[in-house]
Structure 1
Amino acid sequence: MAIGSTLPRRALGRRLRELRFQSKKSQLAAGLAIEVSKQGIGRLEEGQPVRISTAQFRDLLNFYGAAEDVRDEVLGLIQEVKAAKGDPSRGWWRDYADVVNPHFDHFMSLEQACSSMTTFQLTLLPGLLQTPAYRRWIMETTEPNISAANKERHLELIARRQRKLTETQPFSMELLLSEAALRHQIGGTRVMGEQVRRLLEVGELPNVAIRVIPFGVGGHFGLITQSFTLFEFPPLRAGHVPEPPVVFVEGFTGALFLEDDGQIDRHRRAVATLRDVALSPEDTGCLMREVSEEYAE
């Protein structure tokens, strides 16, 4: 029987677990509040299917003392759980203009929850590594009418996201990067010079590996796969199996989240193929220093 994407259900479980921790309630107390077993609350928080009505969810949010904007976010996730039912092997497409739940970003949820992130990028750098000036150019290009206040909020958000690199353990990140992403002059030479220096700094972290695929290798498999990110997760509880991995593929108008084992395996093989043609982290550092010096001229 097709059960559809598990992604919204897993996101809902994580959010409810966060709210329970914040309210300092036990699973037993939460279950008693909405007439569900302690085990049912545990399964709900692990992203497993549990028969709970919308009214019970509202009562649970009241029990946790959730603010109005948080209630809207969670209720929106509940609607996404219902909307995501279908064939899981096809993946789950989410439109950026999704009116079901505009309060929740699934990419950032995965980014913050994962223990390992492997990403291949053809043209743009991932948010965890972007400088404010680089990010500002992206915002101003995609949203020309963005207000100064919203621009600053976006920059504050990405700064919080980037704490993941040093404050979350265990966490590791591998970036496989086309040389084109170093050569496109996003925001101009000054911005790119600063950005490449930022990459050099982050590449020194013990949990981050940056490897560039140089133009000199010619055609390679990444030109077919296009950019993607593979997220892997720790167990929710000691002795439990980890959450299943997720592959994220971004488009101009939305994003595709893949959970099917076959799709995950294909992307793992793509990562292995890309590693074969990428420079070592040490040689990547040499190339980036050359590029940085070119931008400084």
Structure 2
Amino acid sequence: MDNVAPNKIEVRSARVRKEHSPDSEANKMAGLTVSRMDFGNFMKSVRSKAPRTALSAAAAHLEVTRFVLMRMEEGSPTKITKPQVKDLLEYYRAAPADRAEALRLLDEVRAQDSAAKAQGNSKGFWKAYTDQVAPNFEKFLRLEGVADVVIVHQPVIVPGILQSPNYRRAIIHITEPSLSAVDTERRIELTAKRQARLNESGFRLEAFISEAVLRNRPGSPEIMVEQMRWLADASTRDNVELRLIPFAVGPHPGLIMQAFMLLEIPKGTSGMALPPVVFAEGAIGSVFHEHDEEVNEYRRAIDGLRAVALSPHDTRDLVVRTAKEYAA
């Protein structure tokens, strides 16, 4: 997920399920999708930049209850219409680019809802939207930006959020060797902005890496020394848990799992728990998983990784030793 070009990222929608118990947790989650949560997060960010930021005032302007806008911003289904969203954007004095993006995201939500209705309760793989291509990289970044817990599994390279600048440059050179120096540095800046979350006390990162991550060499020995030291330093943070899976542990779920990130989203302003999302990397692209059955498969895999991974202390020791090997 950290080295996939933006135009190779897809979104798969969740299945619409009929819930018989109106008070069940599953029913509370009904209609919550990656696209809907992304739209809500974006509208919340637009409001935060507006001269008028009070949710109650915005609700009064639309002649709806404050709870309606709270549900919209946390990604829950509402009956707010497109004209109302346009009115709200006007009320917020949103910039033209923000207005266009908000309406695009709203159209995406509606298209996803229509597709889900058409599929009904049919079983099988969920079709990816062919019209959701480049914009979805921004979708991933927005979701990562609001997640309070991120659990990442990376069997090949250092996770993006833990990559040093020169290591990141080496990865970019492999994936896009013709990328200009200016655009390369912009991507380095983007990585730095993602890493700023490591300084937030309310954010927690749990990273599982294969021993292959330490042995694979996308860059020079000097770059690998820098990266190993960067990893060791990051692992000393109270909110970062780095655990390595040695080659010698034998069978474990990581052997058959490609790179993925599980994003846990904090409760919305209404206090309702929001569902986690998995962002999984494939051979030619990446996909969001949000259905309970899919997410639970990844949770079971994470439990399996925890069972065989080295402790954070032993992981740090091995990373430091590896840095010394590269420096020798």
**Is the shorter-chain TM-score for this pair beyond 0.5, marking a shared fold?**
yes
Q: 1:14 to 1:219 in 2, by over 3 A?
A: same
Aligned-partner Cα distance in 2 for 1:104–1:203: 27
Deviation at 1:135, TM superposition (A): 1.3
The residue aligned with 1:40 is 68
Deviation at 1:242, TM superposition (A): 2.4
CA-to-partner distance for each residue in 1:49-76, whole Å, 9 max, x for gaps?
1223323222222211222222232222
The residue aligned with 1:163 is 196
Contact 2:222 2:326 in 1 (8 A): yes
The residue aligned with 1:17 is 44
Aligned-partner Cα distance in 1 for 2:49–2:201: 20
The residue aligned with 1:126 is 159
CA-to-partner distance for each residue in 1:102-155, whole Å, 9 max, x for gaps?
386222122111111111110122221111111112222222332222222211
Instruction: With the length of structure 2 as denominator, give the TM-score of the two structures.
Output: 0.82
The residue aligned with 2:316 is 285
Deviation at 1:196, TM superposition (A): 0.8
The partner residue of 1:78 within 106, 117, 121 is: 106
Which amino acid is 1:188 matched to? S
Q: How many residues align?
A: 293
Give SS of 1:50's match. coil
Q: 1:180 to 1:204 in 2, by over 3 A?
A: same
Contact 1:93 1:255 in 2 (8 A): no
The partner residue of 2:299 within 251, 263, 268 is: 268
Contact 1:91 1:256 in 2 (8 A): no
The partner residue of 1:98 within 129, 132, 154 is: 132
Contact 1:234 1:242 in 2 (8 A): yes
1:230 correspondence with 2:259: no
Which amino acid is 1:44 matched to? M
Give SS of 2:218's match. coil
1:203 correspondence with 2:235: yes
Aligned-partner Cα distance in 2 for 1:187–1:267: 31
Q: Give % identity.
A: 39
- The runs of at least 4 consecutive aligned structure 1 residues that moved more than 6 Å come to none
Give SS of 1:40's match. helix
Deviation at 1:92, TM superposition (A): 7.4
1:6 correspondence with 2:33: yes
Aligned-partner Cα distance in 2 for 1:261–1:244: 8
Give SS of 1:204's match. coil
Deviation at 1:181, TM superposition (A): 0.8
Which amino acid is 1:113 matched to? V
Aligned-partner Cα distance in 2 for 1:124–1:92: 29
Greater Cα shift, 79-88 or 274-283: 79-88
Q: 1:217 to 1:107 in 2, by over 3 A?
A: same
The residue aligned with 2:5 is none
Deviation at 1:263, TM superposition (A): 1.9
CA-to-partner distance for each residue in 1:149-170, whole Å, 9 max, x for gaps?
222221112111111001x231
5+ residue gaps, structure 1, are: none
Which amino acid is 2:144 matched to? E
RMSD over aligned Cα, in angstroms?
Answer: 2.4
Contact 1:175 1:209 in 2 (8 A): yes
Aligned-partner Cα distance in 1 for 2:194–2:71: 28
Instruction: With the length of structure 1 as denominator, give the TM-score of the two structures.
Output: 0.90
Contact 1:134 1:187 in 2 (8 A): yes
5+ residue gaps, structure 2, are: 1-15, 18-29
Q: 1:158 to 1:91 in 2, by over 3 A?
A: farther
**Highest relative contact order (Cα 8 Å, sep 6+), 1 or 2?**
2
The residue aligned with 2:24 is none
Aligned-partner Cα distance in 2 for 1:102–1:231: 19
